[in-house]
Chain A
Amino acid sequence: MKWAETPTIEATGLTMNYGQGAVLKGIDLTLHTGEVLALLGPNGAGKTTTVEILEGFRKRSGGEVRVLGTDPDHGDEAWKARLGIVLQSWRDHRKWRVRELLAHIGRYYQVYSTTERPRPYDADELLEQVGLEEQAMRPVAKLSGGQRRRLDVAIGLVGNPEVLFLDEPTVGFDPEARSDFHALISRLTEERKTSILLTTHDLREAETLSHRIAILMNGRISAEGSAQELAARYSGSVAVSYFIRDDEYHQRLAHDEVTDYLCSLLERAGPMISGLRVEPSSLEDTYLCMVREEKSADATAELSSLEV
């Protein structure tokens, strides 16, 4: 895909320290106009911290950051009006009715309406788009988890934002609600020119929703690219397994070795082989591997700090 010249988000060397510990250790991040970028990483990797810095909720320790051309630390209300934020919270405004809340929040955006980007969206239209038209008059407290999350997305979108932040949007969803939610986001992103930064610890979700994935591990971006690129780069091996009589055999091979290996295997032992499986090791395997490695690295670091 080709992107416009000025990116929506540009961060270089972004760092964040809390007390003694460094949470972000120099992050470079770019989000192009109209792009969906997934920030993927395990809990505690610094995803929420990153997003909150970009949203202007948190002062960074160092590095350069521009969101819609503005340093978030100095973002004014007009800048804020161009952002859509879907928070992680679940419990606010419980007494408000669904439509009442969406229409009220929309009112704050009205003065920032332009001919190019009319603001806010009509509350009823938006509710229909996220599939909550039947719940419009219901108190927010009475919504199911999935409905509540869809309302959160509607609230994030009501100001017709140029960039939308989705922080862990499907935590706690059952598989069906998750796939519904993914369909909703895909539909919404096709329809409008909104750049999206999504955080998730679910690789499948990142693959489904985003154009590009940045893997955040231990305060650094450890890999970046489209799902296919990442898969090609990090899952070089193929797993071959089969039975000969009752013995199980496993073999891990590079991509270009597979054909030769299978030919010679079948030639030598063809009739005796059963249950032959050839599987590319997936991006998921690689990602899980990375998470495990980081955890053990953490443990080692902790041990060594104890010894000192």
Chain B
Amino acid sequence: MVSLRYLFGIGLSRGVIELRHNLSSIVNYIFFPTLAVFVMYLLRNMPLVDTDYSLGQYAVPGIISMNILFTGLMGIASTLLLEREDGTLHRARATPHGAFGYFLGKIVSQALLCLATFTVVLALSMTLFDGFALHRITSLLTLSWVLPLGVIAMLPIGVVLGSVLRHPRQLSFVSLLLMGLTAVSGVFYPLSLQSPALQLVGQAFPLYWLTFGVRGAMLPDVILVDEQGESRHLLEAAGTLSVWAVIGSAMAIYVLRTSSRRAVGRRMK
């Protein structure tokens, strides 16, 4: 039997190597969130009803969670789509335990990339805005579980998309749908402004809960205005994100097993 420790060692080192290769692409990943943070900076004086915060401040945690959606979920989906076509996945399958090493490496490198972009965007936001509650120990604690959990909830969805989709064009369509999802996930403005039906849609997906968690950490007081009972909601966030992580991983593994066979079949001339 091959020990898991051995396999995790290989997967981890693969992830680190891939991260090093992708560090240059970090610029692509932070371009839009940086732009968005600057736009929010311009809105720093537009007050959010019933709070001491501005609309700009309110939206920054949303930008951070949306960035995880695009860096993590979309990033891994598009790499997978590409590497299914260019033979990287096929090469992995020709190696003993190669597929496992490949996916572990992919998850590790993309998660680290998420962390790197998060750090850059957060640092920028902290410089531009006052009043984010990151000095509080509870805030840091919340961030320390909600971010990894959010990433783990989103990456498997990206893996599923990357294995099921046939063409990069279809991925652009998915990205359009995700833009729609951000509208009903309370990313830029309170979810309570949406109709109750759309609120329910938003709450079914991890983006809402990740945003909620990040916002709860950075702007603890705003939550009290928007929603009731912060701690109960944080528990809900943890629960929903965990469910997505587990179901998503199971689906990812299933889809990978079947789709990589199809991918080989399509190679036929």
Contact = CB atoms under 8 A, between A and B. Distances in A.
27 contacts: A43-B269, A44-B269, A48-B268, A49-B268, A52-B264, A57-B90, A57-B93, A57-B264, A80-B94, A81-B96, A83-B94, A87-B87, A91-B86, A91-B87, A92-B86, A92-B88, A93-B91, A95-B21, A100-B17, A104-B13, A104-B14, A105-B91, A105-B95, A108-B10, A108-B95, A111-B2, A112-B96
Interface in B197-229: none
A80 B96 contact: yes
Given A90-B87, A109-B96, 11 more contacts: A44-B269, A77-B2, A77-B97, A78-B96, A81-B96, A85-B94, A87-B87, A89-B90, A104-B13, A108-B97, A111-B2
A107 interface: yes
Contacts of A110: 6
Given A92-B90, A96-B17, A96-B21, A107 B10 contact: yes
Contact residue range for chain B? 20 to 34
Contacts of B95: 80, 105, 108-109, 159
A21 B265 CA distance: 15
Interface residues of A, number: 35
Interface in B1-35: 2-3, 6, 10, 13-14, 17, 21-22
A93 B95 CA distance: 14
Contacts of A77: 2, 96-97
Interface string A54-66: 0101100000000
Give me the 7 closest cross-chain CB pairs, A-B, nearest first: A89-B87, A95-B21, A92-B87, A92-B88, A81-B96, A85-B94, A91-B86
Given A87-B94, A89-B86, A108 B101 contact: yes
A131 B209 CA distance: 54
A18 interface: yes
Contacts of B93: 57
Given A78-B96, A108-B10, A58 B86 contact: no
Contacts of B98: 105, 108
Contacts of A78: 96
Contact of A55 (B17, B94, B268): B94
Contacts of A85: 94
B113 to A, nearest CB: 14
A43 B269 CA distance: 9
Most chain B beta-carbon neighbours within 10 Å: one of A55, A58, A108, A155: A108
B83 interface: yes
B13 to A, nearest CB: 7
Given A89-B86, A89-B87, A104-B13, A58 B264 contact: yes
B91 A87 contact: yes
A39 to B, nearest CB: 16
B2 A58 contact: no
Contacts of B22: 95
Interface string B68-105: 00000000000000010011101101111110010000
Contact of A58 (B6, B88, B265): B265
Nearest to A23: B268
A298 to B, nearest CB: 16
A89 B84 CA distance: 11
Nearest to A76: B96
B2 A92 contact: no
Contacts of A52: 264
Contacts of B97: 77, 108
B82 to A, nearest CB: 10
Contacts of A49: 268
A87 B89 CA distance: 12
A81 B2 CA distance: 12
B103 to A, nearest CB: 14
Interface in A30-56: 43-44, 48-49, 52, 55
Nearest to B264: A57
Contacts of A58: 264-265
B212 to A, nearest CB: 36
Contacts of A44: 269
Interface string B49-84: 000000000000000000000000000000000010
A77 B92 CA distance: 12
A231 B86 CA distance: 40
Given A77-B96, A105-B95, A92 B83 contact: yes
A151 B2 CA distance: 27
B206 to A, nearest CB: 30
A133 B96 CA distance: 26
A278 B256 CA distance: 61
Contacts of A91: 86-87
Contacts of B101: 108
Nearest to A94: B86
A85 B95 CA distance: 9
Given A52-B264, A85-B94, A112-B96, A104 B83 contact: no
Contacts of B13: 104, 107
A109 B6 CA distance: 11
Contacts of B3: 111
Nearest to B22: A95
